[in-house]
Amino acid sequence: MNFEKDMLNELSQVSGLTDKVKMLTAPEGTAQPFVVCAKENVTFKRVLDGRSIATVGIYQITVVAQTYAETQDLQDAIKDKLLSFIGRYIGTNETGVKDVVVEYLPDEYVYQPEAFTSVIRMTATY
């Protein structure tokens, strides 16, 4: 099970993001729009007898685009995709997702590379 690879695979299916979803950094010169995902924290939950009952991962997903409207449209499409994970197996590794919580973080304009960014924090239990 590799949740990160499965998440990247699923997010790459969002319209306009084919081959534009990267983990941690996007290569210099990547054409906008693109998405960068970063792991904030992963917690492994176990019960008293040692059985693993869940993994909880917190990820920050940054949308980078040339216009504010484009970041908002992509942010909504990504939110819908993330919420679609609940109760199903995702990606090629078929990670079973039990729950997803999505938060929108502050938007901003970045002077280099002259782009707007929208940030989503996603907490997934799998």
| Phi, psi (rounded to 5 degrees) for 6 | -65, -40
Give the domain extent around 96: 3-125
**Quick one: pLDDT at residue 93?**
80
Residues of the chain with pLDDT under 50: none
Do the Cβ atoms of 96 and 125 come closer than 8 Å? Answer: no
**Quick one: pLDDT at residue 47?**
86
Do the Cβ atoms of 39 and 73 come closer than 8 Å? Answer: no
Domain count within the chain = 1
Query: Quick one: which H or E segment has residue 46?
Result: strand 34-46
| DSSP-assigned letter for residue 39 | E
**Quick one: pLDDT at residue 1?**
60
Q: Residue 37's domain is classified under what CATH number? A: 3.30.2000.10
Model confidence, pTM: 0.89
